[in-house]
Amino acid sequence: MNDITHINSNRAQVSSNQSDSVKNRNEAKQGTENESSPTAADRVTLTNAASRLQDIEQQLSNASSVDSARVAEVQSAISNGEYNVDADRIADKMLAFEDFMNK
């Protein structure tokens, strides 16, 4: 047989504990909001690594994605009739790409 004589008093205690917990969280939240408000002394500084990464990103955005020397070489080979197409190599690369895309 279960003893149910203290059920209501236990519920009241749980409710009181929950109210205290919510009150404590609200107080903590208000405290951090005041601490995190911007002031005149706030500033951002980049580490050397972050500055270096920013420089590299800028250089990459200015770099060309086309290898002009290679383009000129292929154009010259085509013009001179010296450019050979390796169909097996192209087929292998296409199959490898297809496998990569399906993973």
Q: Ramachandran region of residue 88, left (φ > 0), alpha (ψ -120 to 50) or beta?
A: alpha
- Residues 7-61: pLDDT tens digits? 555 555 555 555 666 666 666 666 555 555 666 678 877 788 888 898 999 888 8
Domain ranges of the chain: 68-103
What pLDDT shows up at residue 6?
A: 58
What pLDDT shows up at residue 45?
A: 76
Burial readout 40-67 (b: 16 or more C-beta within 10 A, e: otherwise): eeeeeeeeeeeeeeeeeeeeeeeeeeee
